[in-house]
Amino acid sequence: MSALTREEAALRLADQRPSPGPGRLLRAGWYLLLIALVAAGGVAIAHRTAHGLAATNLTSITPWGAWIAFYIYFVGLSAGAFLLSSLIYVFGMARFERLGRMALLTALVAMIVALTFVLLDLGRMERALSALVYFNWLSPLAWEMRFYVIYILLLAAELWFAMRADLVRRAERSRLARWLSFGSRSPDTGRDHRMLRILGTIGVPIAIFGVHGGTGTIFAIVKARGMWFSALTPIVFIVSALVSGTALLALLYILRQKALKRPVNAGMVADLGKLLGGFLLVDLGLLFYEFLVPLLSMAPHETSVVHLMMEGPYAWTFWILQLGIGMVAPAILLMTRLRESVPLTALACLMVVVGIVGVRFNIVVPPLIEPVLQGLPAGQYFPNAVEWWTSAGIIAMGLLLFSVAADLLPVDEEVHEIGGTAHD
């Protein structure tokens, strides 16, 4: 990568100066909150395990609900965060380099959370590994499970190579760093950067076609469900992943810098805002065609789902949560000079992260409400308390994993030669 500019070097040096960090009371409160939510979620999970899916509002008519919506939400966050890391390690966009390790850690944790949601949704959780033991060449789900395993291993390896040199430097004063360095002693980063480029290059098609595009394919091949059976569905999943992953990383960076009382790189945040704004515009364009084509087709099983989303009981999730909070409002903030304000960019990113939940809910639930054959009963679904508490506990588990890892591991880039090159 290119040499660091004077301003970038100064900001990176400021990142590594000892900082007071969040107060002990604030840190303790954060961890206590997460632990309490994990405990509450654990109780709800125990109830679901004891009573099966009867403890939820899921039915044979509407077999998927909040857990599957959160599953594709976190798979999208993971794929989007990884693809943003590839801009750094594969395509050499040095201005985002300080986000590289955090992007990989976010992708790894989000994938763990996503698969936990899938596990919870299975009627027989003890049979989860059957998808890996048995294989059907024509099953997208069979391929998807194997892509997930490869992707998680790749994320772990790439994160290790990104941190390896700093783990070696910390090995003398940290037992954890010494253990995680796996006997490596050389602080030279040349080989690490080459491995990051190789792993990132392998990971890009896996993340696009195997992980989130593949997740979209699971929905796209279901002919009987309106708004699913479309070649556009996997593409929508991929673009939405770029939107949500970029928003989450920008928000995490700003919040982490503020919590650690470090300066925020306003230029990098503005660049992320431009990137996110561009992804949002593409996403809005795809949304337009998602609705235009079914409406022009006049196929009843398609138009009925569109009307349900726009006028039915879930209309608020589309107009307010998905379109208003998740797309239009942040696009206005990010496509104007307002993005030069770090707080407004953070607000736009928060709106996207929240609004994408509505996107995922509208992908999963409305198509399952409409009966597939005339005369069959329509579905009815809204998550009950067990589903909400289990979801809160799993999300808190992910935040707890991220927080502990960020506290114990060298997630932030460490500066060793100011004014030198960022990479070989």
20-77 pLDDT, tens digit each: 556 788 889 999 999 999 999 999 999 999 999 999 999 988 999 999 999 999 999 9
3-state secondary structure of 409: coil
pLDDT at 2 over 70: no
Q: Tell me, what's the pLDDT at 297?
A: 86
pLDDT at 389 over 50: yes
- What's 211's DSSP letter? I
pLDDT tens string 152-186: 999 999 999 999 989 988 888 888 888 988 888 77
Neighbouring residues of 417: CB distance < 8 A, sequence distance ≥ 6: none
Assess contact for 75 and 114: CB atoms under 8 A: yes
221: tokens are 């091949």
Cα–Cα distances in angstroms (integers) from residue 254 to residues 217, 228, 269, 334, 345, in the given order: 34, 36, 8, 16, 9
Q: Which residue has the tokens 């090159």?
A: 421
Assess contact for 49 and 170: CB atoms under 8 A: no
pLDDT at 403 over 70: yes
pLDDT at 19 over 70: no
pTM of the model: 0.89
Identify the CA nearest to 354 among candidates 387, 381, 329. 329
For all residues of the chain together, what is the average pLDDT?
88
**Residue 293: CB atoms within 10 Å:** 14
Compute the Cα dihedral for 304, 310, 316, 322 and give only its sign: positive
Q: Which residues pair with 3 in a beta bridge?
A: 421
* Percentage of residues in the chain having pLDDT higher than 90: 65
pLDDT at 188 over 90: no
pLDDT tens string 249-300: 999 999 999 988 889 999 999 999 999 999 999 999 999 999 998 899 888 8
Amino acid at 278: G
CA angle 382/384/385 to nearest 5° reads 150
- What's 208's DSSP letter? I
Neighbouring residues of 312: CB distance < 8 A, sequence distance ≥ 6: 366, 369
Assess contact for 195 and 165: CB atoms under 8 A: no
Q: Which residue has the tokens 């789902």?
A: 305
Assess contact for 64 and 368: CB atoms under 8 A: yes
Neighbouring residues of 224: CB distance < 8 A, sequence distance ≥ 6: 301, 372
Model confidence at 423, pLDDT cuts 50, 70, 90, reads very low
Top-confidence residue, 421 or 68: 68
pLDDT tens string 145-154: 999 999 999 9
Q: Tell me, what's the pLDDT at 89?
A: 92
Start-to-end CA span in the chain (Å): 7
Q: Tell me, what's the pLDDT at 338?
A: 85
Model confidence at 3, pLDDT cuts 50, 70, 90, reads very low
Model confidence at 1, pLDDT cuts 50, 70, 90, reads very low
User: Lowest-confidence range among 80-94, 165-179, 375-389?
Assistant: 165-179
14: left (phi over 0), alpha (psi -120 to 50) or beta: alpha
CA angle 8/12/13 to nearest 5° reads 115
> What is the rounded average pLDDT of the residues 379-401?
96
Identify the CA nearest to 208 among candidates 72, 93, 80, 106. 80
Model confidence at 12, pLDDT cuts 50, 70, 90, reads low
Q: Tell me, what's the pLDDT at 7?
A: 52
| Residue 102 to residue 265: CA distance in whole angstroms | 15
> What is the rounded average pLDDT of the residues 204-221?
92
pLDDT at 4 over 60: no
pLDDT tens string 297-320: 888 888 989 999 999 898 999 999
Q: Tell me, what's the pLDDT at 205?
A: 94
pLDDT at 241 over 60: yes
Q: Tell me, what's the pLDDT at 415?
A: 42
> What is the rounded average pLDDT of the residues 324-341?
92
